[in-house]
Amino acid sequence: MVPPERPRRPFPTYVRAMRVLLTGASGFIGSHIAEALTAAGHQVHGFDLRTGQDVRSPDDVARALAGIDAVCHQAAMVGLGVDMSDLPAYASVNVQGTAVLLAEMARAEVRTLVLASSMVVYGEGRYTCDRHGAVRPDPRAEEALRAGHFEPPCPACGNPLAPGVISEDAPLDPRNVYADTKLAQENLAASWARATGASVTALRYHNVYGPRMPRDTPYAGVAALFRSRLERGEAPQVYEDGRQRRDFVHVRDVARANVLSLQTTHTGLRAYNIASGEPRTIADMAHALADAYGGPDPVVTGGYRLGDVRHIVASPEKARRELGFTAQVPFSEGMAEFALASTGSAR
């Protein structure tokens, strides 16, 4: 009799301890990755501008790569970019910095890279039209937004679209300078991997939140902006009608995805959505934070920002299948912890 086939494990059960160079180690996500790597028995070598090391400096990078098995590249200038005067800084840190890192990795023969990418490489999410099937809506027109028409119409017939789930093979369509630089990082890493036979795992994080999320700045994520308002006793201001959908993934889950990725190598670049798989609306998120904080209730303003995408919801399937990654922190628990983390208590 043929024995039943045993389920294939997505990653090896025995994992060798690695010496990992972690760029952006002092940042929000990097600091959690450092903890997760250490807990998994790996040796972390932190690298960050805040501790005097610059990814754009070949000398700094070459020195840091000595004796390293794998690199986890989180260092970047983040946020959407406030105005065009930010353009050179984004290109310099994100594109030039990654180019220097890859050149030095080639020289040092370090062949494993995990790259922090982003859902912003997709632009708008996936939509289908009853008549035209899968379509890519254009950026929404200002007059439509002003009139409160927030759902993007079918580019062919103008009919309403049904939002769907985006998978990694979706067309890439970066729509701002930050997104351009995140896609450039993936492209440079893919070329480097083709030329050297190396392994790149590009993790397209969705909306990451959790302890140590950067505070209220023009570059901050929406969860941090809402929390800052709650701390000032002000209602979170929700744009559009609040029904825009996102995937909020907890930073400890993101850190675990990085550990799993470092332990899984292949040849060339593979990209993965790192998401919870449980989409929420922005209004849901504002309510979860306000409830945990003890008010005030969010206000839906109908305001908008040009260039914001309407829905972007990810399929977490490929990461589950190939990395063995599934998000574990439940939305309500994660948001409650985040709401209270800064003050230590509800009012």
Ligand X SMILES: NC(=O)c1ccc[n+]([C@@H]2O[C@H](COP(=O)([O-])OP(=O)(O)OC[C@H]3O[C@@H](n4cnc5c(N)ncnc54)[C@H](O)[C@@H]3O)[C@@H](O)[C@H]2O)c1
Binding region for Zn ion (CB under 5 A): 129, 131-132, 154, 156-157, 159
Q: How far is CA 248 from the centre of its chain?
A: 10
- For 14, 141, 207, 213, 324, the CA distances from 339, given in Å and listed in that order, are 38, 34, 16, 11, 29
Q: Which of 244, 318, 239, 310 is nearest to 277 (CA)?
A: 318
Tell me how far apart the alpha carbons of residues 78 and 62 are, in angstroms, rounded to a whole number: 24
Query: Using the rule CB under 6 A, is 78 a contact of ligand X?
Result: yes
Within 168-197, the residues that bind ligand X by CB under 6 A are 182
Exactly one of 22, 29, 238, 285 binds ligand X (CB under 6 A); that residue is 29
Residue 161 or 313 with smaller CB distance to ligand X: 313
DSSP 165-232: -B-TTSPP---SHHHHHHHHHHHHHHHHHHHHT-EEEEEEE-EEESTT---SSTT--HHHHHHHHHHT
The interface region with ligand X, picked from 27-35, 257-265, 294-302, 321-329 by CB under 6 A, is 27-35
Reported residue count of the chain is 347
Residue 93 or 329 with smaller CB distance to ligand X: 93
Using CA atoms of 279, 283, 284, 287 in order, give the dihedral in degrees to the nearest 10.
Answer: 160
Query: Using the rule CB under 6 A, is 93 a contact of ligand X?
Result: yes
Residue 82 or 157 with smaller CB distance to Zn ion: 157
Query: Using the rule CB under 6 A, is 48 a contact of ligand X?
Result: yes
Q: Which of 286, 312, 311 is nearest to 299 (CA)?
A: 286
Residue 50 or 146 with smaller CB distance to ligand X: 50
State the CB neighbour count (10 A cutoff) for residue 151: 18
Residue 157 or 195 with smaller CB distance to Zn ion: 157
Query: Using the rule CB under 6 A, is 97 a contact of ligand X?
Result: yes
From ligand X, Zn ion, none, which one binds at residue 118 (CB under 5 to 8 Å depending on kind)? ligand X
From ligand X, Zn ion, none, which one binds at residue 69 (CB under 5 to 8 Å depending on kind)? none
Q: What is the DSSP letter of 314?
A: B
Structure tokens given for 213: 């999320």
Residue 132 or 245 with smaller CB distance to ligand X: 245
Within 115-144, the residues that bind ligand X by CB under 6 A are 116, 118
Q: How far is the CB of 115 from ligand X (least distance, A)?
A: 8
Tell me how far apart the alpha carbons of residues 220 and 216 are, in angstroms, rounded to a whole number: 6
For the window 201-230, what string marks contact with ligand X as x by the rule CB under 6 A? ----x-xx-----x------x---------
Do 121 and 180 meet the contact criterion of CB atoms below 8 Å apart?
no
Structure tokens given for 232: 């000032």
From ligand X, Zn ion, none, which one binds at residue 27 (CB under 5 to 8 Å depending on kind)? ligand X
Q: How far is the CB of 161 from Zn ion (least distance, A)?
A: 8
Helix (H/G/I), strand (E/B), else coil: 252: helix
Query: Using the rule CB under 6 A, is 163 a contact of ligand X?
Result: no
Q: How many CA atoms lie within 13 A of 206 on its CB side?
A: 30
From ligand X, Zn ion, none, which one binds at residue 236 (CB under 5 to 8 Å depending on kind)? none
Q: How far is the CB of 260 from ligand X (least distance, A)?
A: 16
Q: How far is the CB of 23 from ligand X (least distance, A)?
A: 6
Per CB under 6 A, residues contacting ligand X are: 23-24, 26-30, 48-50, 53-56, 74-78, 93, 97, 116, 118, 182, 205, 207-208, 214, 221
